[in-house]
A = this chain, B = another copy of it.
Amino acid sequence: MIVVLKPNVAKERRDQLIEWLEGMGLNIHVSTGQYQTVLGLVGDTSNVDMNLIDSLEIVDSVKQVSEAFKCCNRKFHPEDTVIKVGNVKIGGGNFCMIAGPCSVESEEQIVGVAKAVKEAGANLLRGGAFKPRTSPYDFQGLKGEGIELLKTAREETGLPIVTEIMSVSDLDLFEDVDVLQVGARNMQNFDLLKELGHVGKPILLKRGLANTLKELLMSAEYIMASGNEEVILCERGIRTYSDYLRNTLDLSAVPMLHELSHLPVIVDPSHAIGIARMVPPMAMAATACGADGLMIEVHNDPQHALCDGAQSLRPEEYAELVKKVMAVREVSKC
């Protein structure tokens, strides 16, 4: 940590600060510039309140030098993490195609979509059983029954299943789920994250609505520090002042997260965009900038979907997209 003092600070007050910092077990390197003095804090600064120091009258600014995240930091783990779900590998040069409806609605629907997306090239099935909805009056999902229907679809197709968990108290119902998803609204539900650190299954962690990349990585850190190292990061659009589109898909997060962390990074263009016909170009763009996979909403009857039909592709549109995505991936790999 580096502390920049204001110009013309009285030596006495400066020394007081240094003494206080040394009292915390730190070594202080003093560097006196033409106008300002800079203190370098060496040692374990994890208990030092950066904001507090920043608020002291004699301090101009404070800068953290060491990284806040460790388990997910590429500096300490240069190799890509590869996560295995059944026969599917995610990360480290492997590309995953997760597809399925926003909500599980019926056996016929989920099995039908599962077969269609498998046929089209998907290797994981998604479907919402527990649905986080802004309004308490909107359809909240089939819950436990939805998970059972997902398992049926898995039996029929062999596709591993991905579905969202919203609460620690539902954990028992997810025992036989392959990948547990944490939704954007729960990205900083720290109690849930800690609990998922004790689950021996991959966690698909979506970036929150207005969270920074560092916050996303810190949330991955919660899961990993609790013992579960299988975290898949997912960019799904952030909130801005966008007028025509629901959210702003932040694709530059893909190469940046790859630089900062060894975890796989996938992209969900469907939620970010909210308009089915814009999903294919954004899926191709995500692939071109190096995403390790795509999560895409597919529904066999979007006009009658109980949730987010507007952003769902039809199976034949998805099949078309998979071909293009594969072609883009082929030429954009380094």
**Contact between chains at B212 and A242 (CB < 8 Å):** yes
Give the Cβ gap from A133 to chain B, nearest Cβ, in Å.
7
In the complex, per-residue mask of A126-145: 1 if CB is within 8 Å of any chain B CB, else 0: 00000011111100000000
Q: List chain B residues, Cβ under 8 A from A106.
A: none
Q: Is A77 an interface residue (CB 8 A)?
A: no
Report the contact-size class of chain A (Cβ under 8 Å from the partner): 35 or more
Pick the interface stretch among A90-98, A108-116, A220-228: A220-228
**Contact between chains at A52 and B309 (CB < 8 Å):** yes
A61 contacts which of B63, B170, B210, B305 (Cβ < 8 Å)?
B63
Within 8 A of B (CB), among A252-267: 252, 254-256, 259-260
**Contact between chains at B282 and A255 (CB < 8 Å):** yes
Known: A221-B136, A305-B52. A191 touches B167 (CB 8 A): yes
Q: Is A281 an interface residue (CB 8 A)?
A: yes
Q: List chain B residues, Cβ under 8 A from A310.
A: 49, 51-55
Within 8 A of B (CB), among A135-161: 135-137
> Which B residue sits closest to A331, measured CB to CB?
B327
Q: Is A85 an interface residue (CB 8 A)?
A: no
Bound-state CA distance A251–B285 (Å) is: 8
A55 contacts which of B63, B170, B275 (Cβ < 8 Å)?
B275
**Contact between chains at A311 and B191 (CB < 8 Å):** no
Q: List chain B residues, Cβ under 8 A from A288.
A: 281, 284-285, 287-288, 328, 332
Q: Is A43 an interface residue (CB 8 A)?
A: yes
A38 contacts which of B2, B54, B167, B242 (Cβ < 8 Å)?
B2
Give the Cβ gap from A127 to chain B, nearest Cβ, in Å.
17
Given contacts A36-B65, A36-B66, A213-B242, 17 further A-B contacts (CB under 8 A): A2-B2, A2-B4, A31-B40, A34-B43, A46-B137, A49-B308, A63-B63, A134-B215, A135-B218, A166-B189, A212-B241, A213-B244, A240-B241, A241-B241, A245-B256, A248-B252, A285-B285
Can you list 19 A-B contacts (CB < 8 A)? A4-B63, A36-B65, A36-B66, A46-B137, A52-B310, A56-B303, A134-B218, A135-B221, A136-B226, A167-B168, A185-B190, A210-B210, A238-B248, A251-B251, A251-B282, A252-B273, A254-B281, A327-B331, A328-B332
